[in-house]
Chain A
Amino acid sequence: MDPDDKFPQNAEEYLRQSQTIRAKAYETALQNFQKLVSEMKDYSCHIHSFRIQGTKRTRQSLFESVVNPALGAKTFSSILNEVNIAADKLQRLDIFQYPIYVDFDSSKDPLAQPNAIDVLLSVEEKSRFWIKTGTEIGNDAGSANISLNIRNVFGGAETLEAFMSASTQTSHVFEFCLAKPINGNPDSKIDITAFSLTRNNQNFSSHDEILRGVALRWRGLSRLGFHELSYGSTWRQVCNIAQQATLSVRESAGHSLKSSLIHNFVRDRRDDIMLPSRGYYLRLFQEIAGLGGDVCFLKAETESQLNFPLGKGFILSTSLRNGILFQTDGQKSKISDRFFLGGAQSIRGFKLNGIGPREEKKDSLGGDIYVAGGLSLFTPLPKLHQHPVKGHLFLNGGSLLQLNPSQPLLKSIKGLRRAPSVSAGIGIAYRSSILRLEVNFCLPLLATTTDKLQKGLQLGLGFNFW
């Protein structure tokens, strides 16, 4: 009826047609290009010049180390490949805006040999300073944090970070970290950190712990997974012993200096960190202390998790963890080094760190050796298929002991079987965008008289569930 109606109809039609034409043209161009590239795959040529445009602060040596492998390429396809890898590396160094433009051209230089190629990368440097604020929840603690960052400090993609955080469990954290990629490789970084933090352990162990330390650390990827190797010294101070603290906690007050070498390995092949449906996770941790300082021990910990999809939305998840802290100087271990067990994220049905050695039902003292395992079955819930909510049936168990220096190690290990703490229950698990939430009805099945139980409803909030 309205004569104007026709125009938009025509316009739409026209637009659609032009789009199809353009798409077709793009497709054919791409096909031609691919054909050209595949034809030229083995075409021998070399890079004559490699120019990078748009850098202000970045040093040439960084580019040299990133670009160097490309310069040796002898065929067209390998040049394409290497230049792409170099561009990708530069992108992941996190100092340039996305995307980095790559241009190839036959060399314009009159002195160039035939088959020479000029490569031009156009980059734009990211702003140098940035501030990040955030909140985190995990291990029954909430925290707010702020970090101040300087990018590309000395022009070699170094990052400098000052991090501050305040929370319910750790009263305050201050961390300063200067990191540098090795040879311009974003997957291999070396950093030096200094930190100071106060840990509030009043809830389960009636003391505060102040840690101050420095560490030199390498983080990188191997074919197996992520590695972290660090050497550091930490001054630990167990202080602010509560008036009602048990004697063992009071006697463990004091200063100690740990100087140790740590290796941490993580291989994570899960499809999701918080509520995985398939894949496995493995973490191996080793620590040797006693290269200076006044604590000497060997510490090892393994964590593993396996997830099987059973079909129709059912998922079976199993986890197994164990750890050992062995004093090499025959002294009693320090409370700061020991393991703690129990809580909504580890062994459900028990209070946070509610399993293991304890005095007068009050303060957890921590243990030197532990084994813990869990079996969870996640089920689909009716009418909630499209939401990340699952029903949850679980069986958790574990045991935590102190080693007696006068006893043979094997005997202590056998003791782990004597008094396990086991619980089972049912509940729901919800995976939100930032954390996983669990509400479970827990029944402790086996327990020691000193364990702190959490019968009935238990709420779990966090990222990392066993």
Chain B
Amino acid sequence: MESSTVPSSTTSQTWRNNLNNNPILQTVRQFLSKFPLKTYKPLCKSNELYGPRLYIWGPGWKVGQRTSFDQECLKWQTYLKIAQCDFDIRDANEPLMSPSGKLPILILSEGEVLIDELIKNYVEDTKESNKLGQLSEEQQADSQAFITLADTKLRHALLYTLWCESSNECDTYEKYGRRYANPIDKILMYQAKNAAIKEMLINIPVLNRDDIYHEASDALQALSVALGDNPYFFGQRLPTFIDAVVFSYLHIILEFPVTSANDLNQLVNKHKNLVEFTKRIYTEYYEQEF
């Protein structure tokens, strides 16, 4: 009778408390806590990370190269390298690992999975000493503009070279599709090619080979002028993010097997300072390991 005057929420609270403090239930809980009577240690070893690990497409186009053969992967790999982050590399070659369906992913030892911009944030948050160059605000805006230029014009040309030039099909297949069993490889390569074409069509209405290479040539010209005789972009003593981005494109274009259709390679080779720039970063950050 009394309980009807008490608000219902309080009733359920007291009801729950009563139940929790119920001596019988407490006994049951105490009884259950004694089980299991005996516990063993697991026989299988746990797969643990002792530091950040970058999962990439790899190894590189040429034998013995630790650089990824995929531009996106190489970009982040290089950025982590130039920031002198302590990380481990694993040739995953499996984009399904990633939450976005694209490699690379950076897994931290706490189990956190980072992609794209999150990797950049991670690098900026954790770098202790200044291993990266410092850009002024104006330079940062310019840097952003050049990165956008590379990410559109150079990327289109690279995608076109990889996926649309029939003479390069074998080389692309060797890296991106070889590891899958027949006929899955053909299906997956077809899907990847379609994704590449779709990505290009977002920005260009018609895929015209000459136009794409012509625009890439213009972009390379602009980058070459911007770099000048400096070791890194904007006359910096130390590399910055734009160096990682430009390096990732140029390195892959230069290392990609030269065939008759590889016009992109020739376009880059016209600019001696860009070739020098690519070689310098490679020797400094990748070759010193060995």
Interface residues of A (CB under 8 A from B): 235, 237-239, 241, 243-244, 246-248, 250-251, 253-257, 292-294, 357-360, 365, 401-402, 415, 418-419, 443-450, 453, 455-456
> Are A255 and B184 in contact, with the CB atoms below 8 A?
yes
Measured CB to CB, the nearest residue on chain A to B28 is A456
Which residues does chain A contribute within 8 Å of B32, judged by CB atoms? 443, 455-456
Q: Which of B66-99 contact A (CB under 8 A)?
A: 92, 94, 96-97, 99
Which residues does chain B contribute within 8 Å of A239, judged by CB atoms? 96
Interchain pairs with CB closer than 8 A, number: 94
**Whole-angstrom distance between the alpha carbons of A446 and B36 in the complex?**
5
Among the stretches B42-50, B141-149, B208-216, B259-267, the one at the interface with A is B42-50
Q: How far is the CB of A259 from chain B (nearest CB, A)?
A: 8
> Are B35 and A443 in contact, with the CB atoms below 8 A?
yes
> Are A419 and B41 in contact, with the CB atoms below 8 A?
yes
Any A CB within 8 A of the CB of B202? no
Q: How far is the CB of A355 from chain B (nearest CB, A)?
A: 11
Any A CB within 8 A of the CB of B107? yes
> Are B41 and A257 in contact, with the CB atoms below 8 A?
no
With beta carbons under 8 angstroms apart, the residue of A241, A244, A418, A449 that contacts B97 is A241
Q: Which of B32-66 contact A (CB under 8 A)?
A: 32, 35-44, 46-49
Measured CB to CB, the nearest residue on chain B to A367 is B44
> Are A418 and B40 in contact, with the CB atoms below 8 A?
yes
Any A CB within 8 A of the CB of B181? yes
Q: How far is the CB of B123 from chain A (nearest CB, A)?
A: 21
**Most chain A beta-carbon neighbours within 10 Å: one of B28, B37, B44, B46:** B44
Q: A357-B42, A446-B36, A447-B40 are in contact. Are A294 and B181 (CB under 8 A)?
A: yes
> Are B47 and A401 in contact, with the CB atoms below 8 A?
no
> Are B181 and A241 in contact, with the CB atoms below 8 A?
no
**Whole-angstrom distance between the alpha carbons of A445 and B40 in the complex?**
11
> Are B39 and A448 in contact, with the CB atoms below 8 A?
yes
Measured CB to CB, the nearest residue on chain A to B112 is A243
Given A247-B107, A251-B47, A402-B44, 12 other A-B contacts at CB below 8 A?
A: A239-B96, A255-B96, A255-B188, A359-B46, A359-B47, A401-B44, A419-B40, A446-B38, A447-B39, A448-B39, A448-B40, A448-B43
Residue pairs across A and B with Cβ atoms less than 8 A apart, 23 shown, are: A238-B96, A247-B47, A247-B107, A247-B111, A251-B47, A251-B92, A251-B97, A255-B180, A255-B184, A255-B188, A256-B181, A358-B42, A359-B46, A359-B47, A418-B43, A445-B35, A447-B39, A448-B40, A448-B41, A449-B39, A449-B42, A453-B35, A455-B35
With beta carbons under 8 angstroms apart, the residue of B40, B42, B47, B96 that contacts A246 is B47
Any A CB within 8 A of the CB of B113? yes
With beta carbons under 8 angstroms apart, the residue of B37, B43, B46, B92 that contacts A446 is B37
**Whole-angstrom distance between the alpha carbons of A99 and B118 in the complex?**
72
> Are A254 and B96 in contact, with the CB atoms below 8 A?
yes
> Are B38 and A445 in contact, with the CB atoms below 8 A?
yes
Which residues does chain B contribute within 8 Å of A365, judged by CB atoms? 44
Q: What 0/1 readout, one digit per residue, does chain B (180-209) give for beta carbons within 8 Å of chain A?
A: 111010001000000000000000000000
**Whole-angstrom distance between the alpha carbons of A297 and B48 in the complex?**
27
**Whole-angstrom distance between the alpha carbons of A443 and B92 in the complex?**
42
Which residues does chain A contribute within 8 Å of B107, judged by CB atoms? 247, 250
With beta carbons under 8 angstroms apart, the residue of A235, A254, A360, A449 that contacts B41 is A449
> Are A360 and B46 in contact, with the CB atoms below 8 A?
yes
With beta carbons under 8 angstroms apart, the residue of B28, B38, B184 that contacts A235 is B184
> Are A253 and B184 in contact, with the CB atoms below 8 A?
no
Which residues does chain B contribute within 8 Å of A248, judged by CB atoms? 47
Which residues does chain A contribute within 8 Å of B46, judged by CB atoms? 359-360
> Are A419 and B37 in contact, with the CB atoms below 8 A?
no
Q: A239-B96, A255-B96 are in contact. Are A444 and B35 (CB under 8 A)?
A: yes
**Whole-angstrom distance between the alpha carbons of A235 and B184 in the complex?**
8
**Whole-angstrom distance between the alpha carbons of A457 and B107 in the complex?**
39
**Whole-angstrom distance between the alpha carbons of A181 and B94 in the complex?**
43
Q: How far is the CB of B56 from chain A (nearest CB, A)?
A: 13
**Whole-angstrom distance between the alpha carbons of A251 and B91 in the complex?**
11
With beta carbons under 8 angstroms apart, the residue of A244, A250, A444, A448 that contacts B42 is A448
